[in-house]
């Protein structure tokens, strides 16, 4: 059986599934239960500087987006960092780390932009014997208004400076948690690296309003008749998170910088996907908040089974394997042609493929007698929309045309070689030689 | 246990008093809000949906289910009712397993259809529970139309005609409107006096004058109606029942299932309604099933449904057969009744095994005949088979007279079909009268 033991920045944990800094990791009680349930590591909910703790709202803290059957697809929150005293948190961290030496325990931190403030809290964290720190440069609500969280993460110079201070005053690994609320994730990622970060973790939550109460005419969650934007997370944000992870993994300036992947990880497969795109491990929150800590058992068994099937001995074996396949659009082969195919045995005749294609795409599906749906190869541009709207998995597939076959839509014979936009005759900036060689 | 439980003969009060209400409660309880949302989520919103095609009234099923799923069951109800003003009753009595739900693509996918009937009930119950019928009358046209028969076809026609601003007089021979909704149909499909409540709600549109206790042939005839009204719609149903034509048919205890069900439906106190200890129901259609199941629910010790052909030949759906079996009805097939025996009252019924010489006898103190209904008087109109001949829009052989529902040719004898035919005839009457000016 595959060995799920994870080594991230020299920090070992029984598996690569860590709980992200969030309500599930706010206190000793939860964290002990999480470890007992099987979580490999925990990033303790963000600590702030000493003094009166922050105050949370006592109305609803979460908003939600649902899929069919009220599946929680996205969650937003307006909770702040820990609202318990620094001393209590530190005591608990010390105890938990003492009792669970083989599990990862990272402490998330957020203090003002001041070297003295960072040194003070780092010294205290160091004393707990925790495995490392994560700098919360991502929280998009509340704390950002006070010049912390994403207000720092959106300014690469601040990211770099604080990271430098942390590396100067703290000997253990430093992970910089990035905010997605920025146009280009590479700016803060590169800044973190310049500042000496051992790793980045991403994404933090996304600025969001999940719903509007149409009776009260107020965004939700509603606090005494008013609402504010919150941080969005859960399955719905996974695509955004994975793109940002991949961008960092394939960017020459940041390639090789360890990444802890966060954002909608709900199943073992999500975790494997993040890791294939370069994440050394993953952090989970919404799945645990939705289903409880037990959900990690499926993640463990699923990843283990998949690794056995693929012959991966350790998680390090497949980290980053998909990164070389992530490229820019201009490098895609424009002579690659596929056609949709509908398996009549599996088809339940709902006609959604037809409606989607006929109304919104290329009129490439025919509705025959007795609701038999077939693809018109001479119209199909292979957009894949029919595959995505079909309710039966595997019913519609894309067949790859082999070299020598003719695309009935364009009349083009599929060539042996590739042609990207860079060589395409329609591209004014294309290499003319490439066109001539192909006789165009 | 009641002391009459196993008494011979036709006796009232076979059950403990509290058992009646339990036995005759809703066959399918209404969906809760949660169940409705979960059920609605299963709909795929099919293109050119098969369920819609399969509905005789062509209700836009995917649209109304999506309206439920998005929190607007009232809008869903309007979608239903605009096609079928008796959508509430149809949600309860339609054999959905042979109509919309049979063709649901989820049947192909999982053999478990979207529960269209129950979702339809959810939506219509919601709207009917909170407001009057949602349609407004157009400006008065001054046209007067007679609708004869206040069953599903007549009610549907009357409502549509009233909506167009016509003045409708709705005649019915019985003391209450509703037709088979009120006097037929198993009680557990239309609980809490729903049929009467639905009629009252429907009449809320205005412009419909109800005249009860007025049967054709009793001072009322087509000549008079044609003279007094601009158009006539007949939705008189099938007033006669088929007879067995065997010895002993006149014995006490031999009843028409249709009459017996009407008596049951109008009974104020089911514990006072007599039922046999051993009941035999002859027939294989919905009426036979409804009679047999209700006989069992009233406390008959044994109920046998005897049908002259095989299970697959029965007009009642497999679902209905299974329902009967689940209630303890014994279904005997290939049994042709040859004689009913008894002194004054029936004591047994003798059958021949269809297609053979074998004979067998079942003990019975009550025999219910459910071997089909037929048209009474065709009133001089041309007939097709044994029904009033009509074209696709309900026109009979006589100008100015339309017909629909069970009395008219074409379509199955279903509530929903009657509603569709009444509605379509009303559309044609409206177009015809408006063209005449």
Closest by alpha carbon to A248, among A258, A237, A235, A234?
A258
Instruction: Indicate if the pLDDT at residue A440 is higher than 70.
Output: no
Q: Are A227 and A220 within 8 A, CB to CB?
A: yes
What distance in Å separates the CA atoms of residue A80 and residue A136, rounded to the nearest whole number?
Answer: 11
Q: Which of B347, B372, B397 is the last residue of a domain?
A: B372
Mutate to test the interface with B, among A342, A345, A349, A350 (most CBs of B within 10 A): A350
CA A282 – CA B167 distance, rounded (Å): 73
Q: What is the pLDDT of residue A82?
A: 95
A340-356 residue pLDDT tens = 999 999 999 999 999 99
> Cα A343 to the chain's mean position, in Å?
33
Q: Residue B393's pLDDT is what? A: 95
Contacts of B48 in chain A (CB under 8 A): 351, 367, 371
What's the pLDDT score for residue A438? 60
CATH of the domain at B162: 3.50.50.60
SS3 A179: coil
| Summary mean pLDDT of chain A | 95
Mean pLDDT of A352-377: 97
From CA B305, how far away is CA B290, in angstroms rounded? 11
CA A420, A422, A425, A426 torsion: positive or negative?
A: positive
The phi and psi torsions of A44 (rounded to 5 degrees) equal -60, 140
> Which residues in B lie closer than 8 A to residue A391 (C-beta atoms)?
44, 109
- Please check whether residues B262 and B324 belong to one and the same domain: yes
- Give the closest residue to A268 by CA, choosing from A40, A64, A67: A40
Contact B106 A348 (CB under 8 A): yes
pLDDT surpassing 90 at residue B274: yes
What is the pTM for the complete model shown?
Answer: 0.91
Active site residues of A: 139
Topology given in CATH for the domain delimited by A6-325: TIM Barrel (3.20.20)
Q: What are the residue ranges spanned by the domains of chain A?
A: 6-325, 329-437
Closest Cα in chain B, distance from residue A62 (Å): 21
> Is the pLDDT confidence value at A434 over 70?
no
pLDDT of B3 higher than 80: no
What residues in B contact A352, CB-CB < 8 Å?
Answer: 44-47
Confidence of residue A87 (pLDDT cuts 50, 70, 90): very high
User: Which whole number is the average pLDDT over A24-49?
Assistant: 97
Same domain, B360 and B260: yes
Confidence bin at B222 (pLDDT 50/70/90): very high
In this prediction, residues A415-424 reach a mean pLDDT of 93
Quick one: B43 and B125 in the same domain? yes
Residue B324 DSSP one-character state: H
Of B319, B346, B372, the residue that ends a domain is B372
pLDDT reported for residue A274: 98
Note whether residue B25 is domain-resident.
no
CATH number at residue B84: 1.10.1060.10
**Residue A102 to residue A57: CA distance in whole angstroms:** 36
Q: Is residue B276 part of a domain?
A: yes
Q: Does A68 sit within 8 Å of B47, measured CB to CB?
A: no
**Which domain-ending residue is among B333, B352, B372?**
B372
Which residues of B are less than 8 Å from A357 in CB distance?
none
Indicate the pLDDT class of residue A359, thresholds 50, 70 and 90. Answer: very high
Domain range for B274 is 241-372
Distance of residue A317 Cα from the nearest chain B Cα, in angstroms? 39
Q: Do residues B343 and B252 both lie within one domain?
A: yes
Indicate the average pLDDT of chain B: 96
Q: How far is CA B401 from CA B117, B223, B384, in A?
A: 33, 10, 16
Residue B65 scores a pLDDT above 70: yes
Residue B423 CB coordination number (10 Å): 23
Alpha helical stretches, state H, A74-181: 86-99, 115-128, 150-153, 156-169
Q: What is the pLDDT of residue A210?
A: 96
Label the pairing between strands B359-363 and B346-353.
Answer: antiparallel
* Residue B138 located in a structural domain: no
Is the domain of B94 the same as that of B74? yes
Domain assignment present for residue B172? The answer is yes
Architecture of domain A329-437: 2-Layer Sandwich (3.30)
For residue B4, the model assigns a pLDDT of 83
Q: A201: helix, coil or strand?
A: strand
Cis peptide before A203 (omega within 30 of 0): yes
By the CB < 8 Å criterion, does B44 face chain A? yes
Q: 3-class secondary structure for A37-92?
A: HCCCEEEEEEECCCCCCCCCCCCCCEEEEEEHHHEEEEEEECCCCCCCCHHHHHHH
Burial class (CB in 10 A: 0-12, 13-18, 19+), B31: buried
Contact with chain A for residue B360, Cβ under 8 A: no
């Amino acid at each position: 059986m595959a060995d799920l033991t994870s080594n991230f920045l020299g920090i070992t944990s029984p598996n690569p599934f860590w709980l992200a800094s969030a309500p599930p990791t706010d206190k000793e009680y939860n964290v002990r239960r999480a470890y007992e349930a099987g979580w490999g590591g925990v990033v303790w909910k963000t600590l702030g500087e000493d003094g009166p703790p922050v105050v949370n709202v006592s109305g609803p803290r979460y908003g939600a987006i649902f899929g069919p059957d009220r599946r929680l697809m996205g969650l937003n929150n307006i909770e702040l960092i820990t609202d318990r005293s620094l001393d209590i948190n530190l005591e608990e961290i010390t105890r938990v780390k003492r009792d669970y030496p083989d599990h990862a325990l990272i402490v998330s931190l957020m203090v003002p932009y001041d070297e003295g403030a960072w040194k003070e809290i780092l010294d205290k964290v160091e004393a707990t014997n925790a495995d490392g720190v994560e700098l919360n440069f991502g929280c998009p609500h509340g704390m950002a208004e006070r010049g912390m969280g994403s207000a720092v993460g959106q300014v690469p110079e601040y990211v770099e400076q604080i990271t430098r201070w942390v590396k100067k005053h703290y000997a253990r690994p430093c992970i910089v948690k990035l905010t997605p609320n920025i146009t280009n994730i590479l700016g803060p990622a590169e800044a973190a690296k310049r500042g000496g970060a051992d790793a980045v973790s991403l994404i933090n939550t996304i600025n969001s309003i999940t719903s509007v109460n149409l009776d009260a005419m107020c965004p939700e969650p509603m606090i005494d008749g008013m609402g504010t934007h919150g941080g969005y997370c859960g399955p719905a944000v996974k695509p955004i998170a994975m793109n940002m992870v991949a961008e960092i993994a394939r960017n020459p300036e940041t390639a090789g910088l360890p990444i802890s992947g966060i954002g909608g990880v709900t199943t073992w497969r999500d975790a494997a996907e993040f890791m294939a795109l370069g994440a050394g491990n993953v952090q989970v929150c919404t799945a645990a908040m939705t289903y409880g800590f037990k959900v990690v058992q499926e993640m463990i068994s699923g990843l283990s089974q998949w690794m056995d099937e693929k012959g991966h001995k350790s998680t390090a074996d497949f980290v980053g394997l998909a990164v070389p396949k992530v490229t820019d659009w201009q490098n895609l082969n424009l002579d690659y042609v596929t056609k949709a195919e509908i398996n009549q045995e599996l088809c339940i005749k709902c006609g959604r493929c037809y409606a989607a294609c006929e109304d919104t795409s290329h009129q490439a599906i025919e509705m025959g007698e007795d609701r038999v749906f077939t693809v018109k190869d001479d119209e199909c541009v292979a957009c894949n929309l029919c595959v995505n709207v079909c309710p039966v998995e595997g019913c519609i597939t894309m067949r790859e045309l082999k070299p020598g076959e003719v695309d009935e839509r364009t009349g083009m014979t599929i060539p042996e070689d590739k042609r990207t936009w860079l060589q395409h005759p329609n591209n004014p900036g294309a290499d003319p030689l490439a066109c001539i060689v192909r006789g165009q | 246990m009641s002391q009459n439980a196993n008494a011979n003969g036709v006796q009232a009060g076979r059950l403990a008093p509290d058992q009646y209400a339990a036995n005759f409660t809703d066959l399918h309880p209404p969906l809760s809000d949660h169940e409705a949302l979960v059920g609605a989520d299963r709909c795929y919103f099919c293109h050119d949906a098969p369920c819609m095609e399969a509905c005789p009234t062509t209700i836009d099923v995917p649209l109304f289910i999506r309206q439920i799923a998005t929190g607007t069951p009232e809008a869903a109800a309007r979608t239903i009712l605009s096609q079928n003003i008796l959508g509430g009753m149809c949600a309860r009595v339609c054999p959905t397993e042979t109509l919309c739900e049979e063709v649901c693509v989820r049947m192909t996918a999982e053999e478990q259809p979207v529960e269209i009937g129950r979702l339809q009930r959810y939506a219509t119950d919601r709207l009917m529970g909170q407001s009057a019928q949602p349609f407004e009358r157009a400006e008065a046209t001054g046209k007067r139309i007679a609708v004869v028969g206040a069953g599903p076809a007549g009610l549907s026609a009357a409502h549509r005609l009233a909506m167009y601003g016509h003045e409708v007089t709705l005649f019915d021979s019985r003391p209450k409107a509703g037709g088979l909704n009120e006097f037929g149909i198993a009680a557990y499909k239309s609980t809490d006096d729903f049929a009467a409540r639905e009629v009252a709600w429907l009449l809320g549109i205005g412009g419909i004058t109800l005249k009860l206790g007025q049967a054709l042939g009793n001072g009322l005839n087509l000549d008079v109606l044609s003279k007094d009204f601009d158009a006539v719609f007949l939705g008189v149903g099938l007033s006669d029942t088929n007879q067995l034509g065997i010895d002993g048919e006149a014995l006490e205890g031999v009843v028409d299932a249709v009459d017996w069900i009407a008596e049951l439906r109008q009974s104020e106190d089911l514990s006072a309604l007599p039922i046999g200890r051993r009941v035999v129901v002859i027939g294989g259609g919905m009426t036979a099933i409804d009679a047999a199941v209700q006989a069992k629910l009233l406390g008959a010790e044994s109920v046998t449904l005897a049908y002259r052909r095989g299970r697959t030949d029965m007009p009642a759906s497999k679902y209905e057969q299974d329902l009967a079996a689940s209630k303890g009805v014994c279904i005997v097939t290939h049994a042709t009744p040859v004689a009913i025996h008894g002194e004054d009252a029936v004591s047994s019924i003798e059958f021949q095994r269809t297609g053979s010489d074998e004979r067998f006898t079942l003990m019975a103190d009550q025999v219910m005949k459910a071997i089909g209904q037929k048209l009474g008087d065709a009133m001089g109109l041309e007939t097709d088979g044994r029904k009033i001949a009509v074209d696709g829009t309900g026109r009979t052989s006589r100008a100015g007279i339309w017909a629909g529902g069970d009395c008219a040719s074409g379509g199955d004898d279903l509530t929903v079909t009657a509603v569709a035919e009444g509605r379509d005839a009303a559309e044609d009457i409206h177009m015809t009268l408006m063209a005449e000016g």
